[in-house]
Chains A and B, each alone.
Chain A
Amino acid sequence: MARIELSEIAHSYLPNPKEELDYALKRIHNTWEDGGAYALLGPSGCGKTTLLNVISGLLTPSSGRVFYNGKDVSGLPPEKRNIAQVFQFPVLYDTMTVFGNLAFPLQNRGLPSSKIAQRVHEVAEILDLTPFLKKRAAGLAADAKQKVSLGRGLVRRDVAAILFDEPLTVIDPQLKWDLRRKIKEIHEQLKLTFIYVTHDQVEALTFADKVVVMYEGEIIQIGTPQELFENPEHTFVGYFIGSPGMNFLECTLDGNVARVDGAGIKLDEETAALGRNARGKLEVGIRPMYLELSSGPVENGVPAQVRAIEDQGSYKIVALTLAGKTLRARLPEGKPVPDGKVWLGFPLQRIKLFADGRLIS
C-alpha cells in the first residue's frame, strides 16, 4: 500500500515538443493518499491513460518525478514498483487455469508453493472465484476474467496500488453494476489504494471517494462527488458532471447584473464584486435543476422561449432559447411546463461566475 506523489510531471509523446499543444500531460502535481478510492475522470484524449501509465511506470514522463511513500521510483519499471493494473479487456494467461493465473505473480517471486496456494485461495474467496479455480481461464465470461485480472493484483500482499483502466468496457450492461459494486466492496475490505480511470461520470461518482477530473492534459479539480457537483472549479467540470451538464452563458458585468445579450441576470453582491475584479471571458453558470420556470413574469426573471421537452420518466428536460443560446432546465415529474414564452428564475445562491473557464471565488 502506498501513498503516491506526482511531482511536476509533464509528458510529450513527441521527441522535440515545442508548444503546449505537443504535451499530453501539461503539469501534474498531486498526491494520491494511501488506501484512497480515486476515480480519474475525463473525456477521451484528455491524458488519463497517459497519467495512469506514468503512475504505474509503463511510461517514463518527459519531466517530473514519481514518489511512492516518499521514495523516488521515477526510474523504476512497473514490476519494481509493485503495482497492479486491470486493463480495458481481460488480460489473462489463456493456457493456464484460474489458479495458475492467480499463482503466477507469486511464483515469479519465488514463494513456496504452500504459501502460494494459501494466498490464491484467500483471494479467490474474496472475488467469488473459488468454484472456478480449476477451470481454464480462457473459458470464463468477461466479468469473471476481469476478476481474475484483479485477483492477480490482489494476490500480492504488499501491492502498492491497483490501477483500473476503464475495466468495464467489455462487460455486458447487466453485469457492469455487479462488478462495480464488487470492486467497491473489495476496496472497503482491503483498503488498498485504488485508482480507477473512466470517461463515464456515473462510474466515477458511484465508485470514488475522491474524483480527479482531467481535461486536456491537466488536472482541473479534485474533490468528492458532492464537491464537484456543487462547486465546479472549471466550466468543463460543470459541463461534464451532471445530466445534463451545467448551463453556461457568456455575459458582461453591469453593476450587479450579468448581461446576456440584453437580458439581465441579477447576481448577489459577493459574486458581482468578484466578477468586477476578474479578467477574461465571463460566463454565468447554473445547473439545470436549479432553473425555475414560470409562465408569467417574475421579479428578476429573464424571458426565454421553450423549444422542446424530453420526458425521461422521473424528470423532464426542457430545452429553452435565451438570447439566441440554448439552455436546459430539469424539472421533476409532474411539474407542469408552460408553453412558448416563459420566465426563468436564477436563484442567487446557485449562480456561479466563471472567468476564462475558471470559477471566480
Chain B
Amino acid sequence: MGKWSNNKAWFLVLPVVTIVAFSAIIPLMTVINYSVQDIWGPGQSIFVGTEWFEEMLGNKRLHDALWRQFLFSGLVLLIEMPLGILIALAMPKRGWGVSACLVTIAIPLLIPWNTIGTIWIIFTRPDIGLFGAGINNLLGIAFDHTARPLDAWITLMLMEIWHWTPLVALLAYAGLRAIPEAFYQAARIDGASAWSTFWYIQLPKMRGVLTIAVLLRFMDSFLIYAEPFVLTGGGPGNSTTFLSIYLVKIALGQFDLGPGAAFSLIYFVIVLLFSFMFYQVLQRVGKGEKG
C-alpha cells in the first residue's frame, strides 16, 4: 500500500528541519563566508575569492594529512572487517554464552572516546603500562608511542581495532543469525566443506550487514578526532595528524579563519561524495535483499 500523499506532512518535519538547520546551515553559512574572506580583525575583511581554496588545495600539510587519513582508514577496513567476521563466526549461537559475549564485546563501544585514549596512554607507556613495559622489558624493543612515528601508529591502530572491531563483529553476527538453519543443513547434505559453506552461503547472505559495516567504519574513521588527539595529540610531529585534527588545529588553534573555512568545505565535499555513495549503495542493497 502506497504512502499517503500530503504536503501538510511538512508540519511534522518542521521541528527537525528547524533544529538541524539551525545546527547545520547557519554554521555552514559562516564557514562559506569565512572561506572567501581575509579577516584580520573584527569587522575588517576583504573578499579574496578562491584564494584560500587554492592555497589549501596546494597545501602540502593538507595533502600529507589526507594521505595519512586514507592510509589510516584503509588499514582500519583491512584489519577490522576480516577480524570482525572471524569473531562473529566464533561467537556462540545459543545459550547463556550469547548474552555474555554480546555484553563483553559491546563494552568498548560505549566508552567515551577520550577515555579510550586515556586507557591506551596508560596501557602503552613504557614505565607504567602493561603493554609498554612488556614490550620494552620482555622483547627488548624501546617502544615509545610519544617518540617514534611507527610506535605511535602501531599504538593508534591497536587502539582503533580494540575500540571498533566489536561494531563489525556485532553487525556480522546479526547477519549470520538471520541465516535459516536449513541452508547449513543443505550444505552438509551436499558435502560442502567449512570453507565452501562460508564462501557460498554465509558471506553472500551477510552482504547487507557487511556493506553497512564497511561504510560506517570508513566514514567514522575518516572523521576521527578524539582518540588520536588524546593519545598522541597528532604527534610525534605530524605523524598522526589526521584531517579532523589538522582542521581543528588551524581553525581553533591558530584561528586561521579563512584557510580553516576553505579546508572545512573541501573536507565536507569529500564526505558528501562518500555519503551519496553510501546512500545509493544502501538503497540498492536494501532492494536486493527483498528480491
Contact = CB atoms under 8 A, between A and B. Distances in A.
Interface in B183-218: 183, 185-186, 188-193, 196, 200-201, 204-205
Contact of B190 (A77, A87, A152): A152
Contact of B189 (A84, A88, A96): A84
A23 interface: no
Nearest to A53: B185
Interface in A93-131: 93-96, 104-105, 108-109
B190 A105 contact: yes
B200 A78 contact: no
Taking chain B's interface residues, is the majority helix, strand, or loop, or is none over half, making it mixed?
helix
B196 A56 contact: no
B201 A93 contact: yes
Nearest to A155: B190
Task: Give the size category of A's interface with B.
Answer: 20 to 34
B185 A78 contact: yes
B182 interface: yes
Contacts of B196: 108
Contacts of A58: 185, 188
A175 interface: no
A78 B188 contact: yes
State the main secondary structure of chain A at its contact with B: mixed
A89 interface: yes
B192 A104 contact: yes
A154 interface: no
Contacts of B204: 94-95
Contacts of A153: 189
A170 interface: no
Contact of A85 (B180, B185, B192, B201): B185
A56 B189 contact: yes
A199 B284 CA distance: 38
A85 B190 contact: no
A79 B185 contact: no
B152 to A, nearest CB: 42
A247 to B, nearest CB: 39
A91 B200 contact: no
A61 to B, nearest CB: 17
Contacts of B200: 93, 95-96, 104
Contact of B182 (A77, A84, A91, A108): A91
16 contacts: A56-B189, A79-B190, A79-B191, A83-B189, A84-B189, A85-B185, A85-B189, A87-B185, A91-B180, A94-B205, A95-B200, A96-B200, A105-B190, A138-B291, A149-B186, A153-B189
Interface of B: 180, 182-183, 185-186, 188-193, 196, 200-201, 204-205, 291
